[in-house]
Chain A
């Protein structure tokens, strides 16, 4: 039973939304809450995907006794198709494989975030921005050229953890998985933003000096934020590879994985997880519509229409920065305990003291 077309369109949309929501929320943690200009968002996203392309497939091939003379990269098609046959009847192992890969990707992203931020974290944010941008490009170059890693420019196919659900239901399960992860990350980040840590991060962003005066180790906080942000973004990259069941360095570029998340966060409203979601949702819908009507424009102009999209997004971002820098959903005051609650608490304290 095939799914009706509007439903596949919606599932497609939600899948893409989930991935970009994860990436833009991670950027929101870094830039929105803490004020770190991470211009190498692609670094963590690609890092997570590269990890999924390089490590879990090899581990699983080893566990299922794939003959050692079949190389994971050179005989990629053979290895992966025989693994997929095994995974078709193993829902539990498939799910474990998926979850373990996501955890591993998050770890890889965290390590990348630590290494990339180490040289520049003590300096003003623009140095950090420059190094992160350069690191991201170099990681892409390595992925694109080093064949034993993830197959170089050809890329690599990975075992599909959704084999067991059957072909026509696969998109639905992938979408549900991605949205589930998105929801978990949303709740986690929302909890962070309401905790004392969230307020400390805002203090680091708004006034570094006062944060220092109150004894906060600003550099350490920045570093931690970047590590967590990179781990989350890496999960987004890993999920993207499971969606396509393949990894290729060519899929990652600084426009899609650095610039777009920035547009989403700023247009949606920075330091506001809901804003990041709204930004991602708007953006993904817009993109789907553009791809839909692209063929219509293609006949009129003597160039690839995709470039017009770049220009419109660049202009849109500049206009938003100029005329509505708080975004669609502005930052709200931090949520703390209710005033009445505190007053009652204090009053009851005083009463019990008077009683004794």
Chain B
């Protein structure tokens, strides 16, 4: 009887840990998928380098924390700047000249992959450099030990959702309440009309790329506090980011938020419960979950959650 009670308690304990994990991962996913969706809305091209925007800042934060003894949460500020700068370079130096030459979206996608390769190269060179010159562990490392504690919980559990909330709310206020933001939305919705009204479209697009990269950078800086990181983590993240953005509809910021949250919870809870039910061998297959969600979305509702006519849907169901 008491052992059963103990088992139940253990189970509850584990569920709570899983939910905590899911909340952290969802917050990171929300920042990442919101950024990808924002650039997709402006430039109409899925950015295959988005995962690397985050990965680059994993290593930036590693260097800041380990070499300069900076609090890992302060590292999010330079990470925002670096992520934004890297994204801005992609837009200004690669995508915009290509668009001016009339390249179609396939060419733009290849260009983002080429840029992705350059970033992978930089990340690995930086990781090798930190490893060989400064003797830091740069492959399969974590920074969990540098996290602060809030109410007996890891700080990330509080700070990641709060940070995601603040960033998304400020993005919302920016897009809806400021003149610049409204101009940006106009540039996204109807570029030629916006141009006629005198909005500088290039500035707007560049700003959206900067914000997108910055969001990815913040998520990346927080990543090593949550999970084991490696230079090739970008592709793993990219699958989840694409799944979240496609689920959200790829052309709706609020869809991206919901998509990110759903993917985050589905991945963490799905893997957690399946591994207790079937055994720990299921854990490496975690990316299968976002892939299945992505495929189902494309089959059932290709425009994502944002594209479903919810009123009609409820009428049909109810």
Q: In the complex, are the beta carbons of B118 and A314 less than 8 A apart?
A: yes
Q: Does A311 contact B (CB under 8 A)?
A: yes
Report whether over half of chain A's contact residues are helix, strand or loop; otherwise say mixed. helix
- Is there a chain B Cβ closer than 8 Å to A53's Cβ? no
- From known contacts A126-B45, A131-B298, A321-B103, infer whether A259 and B235 are also in contact, taking CB-CB under 8 Å: no
B128 near A317: Cβ-Cβ < 8 Å:
no
Give the interface segment out of A65-73, A104-112, A136-144, A213-221: A136-144
Q: Does A184 contact B (CB under 8 A)?
A: no
Task: Enumerate chain B residues within 8 angstroms of A262, measured Cβ to Cβ.
Answer: 110, 113
Q: Is the CB of A322 within 8 A of B101?
A: yes
B contact residues around A29 at 8 Å (CB): none
Number of A-B contacts (CB under 8 A): 132
**Is the CB of A127 closer than 8 A to any CB of chain B?**
yes
Say yes or no for A303: interface residue by CB 8 A criterion: yes
Query: In the assembled complex, which residues on chain B have CB atoms less than 8 Å from the CB atom of A120?
Result: 298
Point out the residue from B46, B122, B238, B281 that lies within 8 Å of A311, measured CB to CB. Answer: B122
In this complex, the member of B113, B285, B291 whose beta carbon has the largest number of chain A beta carbons within 10 angstroms is B113
Q: Residues of B contacting A135 with CB < 8 Å?
A: 291
Kindly state whether residue B172 has any CB partner on chain A within 8 Å.
no
Number of interface residues of A (CB under 8 A): 45
Chain A 262-304, CB-CB to B under 8 Å as 1, else 0, gives 1000100000000000000000000000000000000000111
A137 touches B298 (CB 8 A): no
The reply to whether B132 and A302 contact each other, CB–CB distance below 8 Å, is: yes
Q: Assess the B45–A137 pair: CB atoms within 8 A.
A: no
Q: Which residues of B from 234 to 276 have beta carbons under 8 Å from A?
A: 235-236, 238-239, 242-243, 246
- The prevalent SS among residues of B at the interface is helix
CB of A303 within 8 A of CB of B45, answer no
Interface residue B106 (Cβ < 8 Å from any Cβ of A)? yes
CA distance A20 to B116 in the complex (A): 22
Chain B: CB-nearest residue to A318:
B114
Give Cα A308–Cα B118 distance, bound, in whole angstroms: 9
- Any chain A CB within 8 A of the CB of B92? no
Q: Which chain A positions have C-beta within 8 A of B318?
A: none
- Distance (whole angstroms) from the CB of A260 to the closest CB of chain B: 10
A349 at the interface (CB under 8 A from B): no
B111 within 8 A of A: yes
Contact of A304 with B124 in the complex, beta carbons under 8 Å: yes
B285/A141 in contact, CB under 8 A: yes
Q: Which range contains the number of B residues in contact with the other chain?
A: 35 or more
Query: Would you list which residues of chain A between 21 and 45 have a CB under 8 Å from chain B?
Result: 31, 35, 37, 39
B162 on the A face (CB < 8 A): no
Question: Across the interface, which residues of A come within 8 angstroms of B246, CB to CB?
Answer: 127, 130
> Complex: how many Å from CA A145 to CA B235?
17
Give residues of chain B (177-204) contacting chain A, Cβ–Cβ below 8 Å. none
- Knowing A130-B46, A137-B239, A321-B107, the reply to whether A303 touches B124 (Cβ < 8 A) is yes
Q: Is B14 an interface residue (CB 8 A)?
A: no
CA distance A154 to B281 in the complex (A): 16
Contact B46 A129 (CB under 8 A): yes
Question: Using Cβ atoms and an 8 Å threshold, which residues of chain A touch B118?
Answer: 310-311, 314-315
> Does A77 touch B at the CB level, under 8 Å?
no
On whether the beta carbons of A310 and B120 are closer than 8 Å, the reply is: yes
B233 at the interface (CB under 8 A from A): no
Q: Is B94 an interface residue (CB 8 A)?
A: yes
With CB as the reference atom, state the residue of chain B lying closest to A119. Answer: B298
Q: Smallest distance from the beta carbon of A102 to chain B beta carbons, Å?
A: 29
- Give the docked Cα–Cα distance between A50 and B255 (Å): 38
Are A311 and B117 within 8 A (Cβ)?
yes
Cβ of B128: which chain A residues have Cβ within 8 Å of it? 302-304, 307
The reply to whether B124 and A125 form a contact with Cβ atoms under 8 Å apart is: no
Q: Which residues of A contact B302 (CB under 8 A)?
A: 122-123, 127
12 contacts between A and B (CB under 8 A): A39-B48, A127-B298, A134-B239, A134-B243, A262-B110, A266-B110, A303-B129, A304-B124, A314-B117, A315-B114, A321-B110, A325-B101
Binding site for B on A (CB under 8 A): 31, 35, 37, 39, 119-120, 122-127, 129-131, 133-135, 137-138, 141-142, 144-145, 254-255, 259, 262, 266, 302-304, 307-311, 313-315, 317-318, 321-322, 325
